[in-house]
Amino acid sequence: MNPFKLIDKYYKQGSRARYMLIEHSRLVTQKALEMARRVKHLNPDTEFIRRAAMLHDIGIMFTNAPGIGCFGEADYVCHGHLGADLLKKEGLPGCARVCETHVGVGLSVKDIMSQRIPIPKKDMVPTSLEEQIICFADKFFSKNPATLYERRPFEKIKKEISCYGRKKGEKLEEWARLFGR
């Protein structure tokens, strides 16, 4: 499955949202494939990583994020869940799972409830090797137009993630040891 066909189906050619989605996702894909090479002894599915990383943020169009050209109604934090719903309807449950689990270092039921995130109350934590690789790779790149192409420093990422709890920071450290920075 060519992820660009799906992107073309939902994102208007020439739109800011499409540009931001594609450029961010290309950077994440490159980083994820780099990480996958570091753990090739674990046999990551690089073709799946290539597809899923390109689609991990497809749900941004449903959110209210005008800075990146998205004029939906949902809070930005919901983009993973909303993208997962879309990809399930498209018959891509594996890619849907990546969408659902890439927010932060994953969202537990406790996270969803304590932060009052308006998404279903279920664990959305990356478990497969590929889910973890894509989730971690995503943290290195922002969709902020001013810094789109800049790789974010690990220490900055860790500081931001650790605001959500010590265990979140520890998960990030674990991934850094496994996949590299």
pLDDT, average across residues 170-178: 96
Residue 147 pLDDT > 90, yes or no? Answer: yes
Contact 35, 137 (CB under 8 A): yes
> Is pLDDT at 1 greater than 90 in this prediction?
no
**Hey, is 106 helix, strand or coil?**
strand
Q: Which domain holds residue 71?
A: 3-179
Residue 4 parent element (H or E):
helix 3-10
Rounded Cα–Cα distance for residues 31 and 140 (Å): 8
Domains: count for the chain = 1
| Residue 148 · residue 141 · CB < 8 Å | yes
Domain containing 164 — which CATH number?
Answer: 1.10.3210
| Residue with tokens 């993973």, as numbered in its chain | 80
Q: Which CB contacts under 8 angstroms, 24+ apart, belong to 145-154? A: 145/20, 145/67, 145/68, 148/20, 148/23, 148/24, 148/27, 149/23, 149/27, 151/31, 154/181
- Tell me the pLDDT tens digit for each residue of 78-123: 999 999 999 999 999 999 999 999 999 999 999 999 999 999 999 9
Take residue 73 and report the two structure tokens written for it: 């109604």
Cα gap 102→125, rounded to integer Å: 8
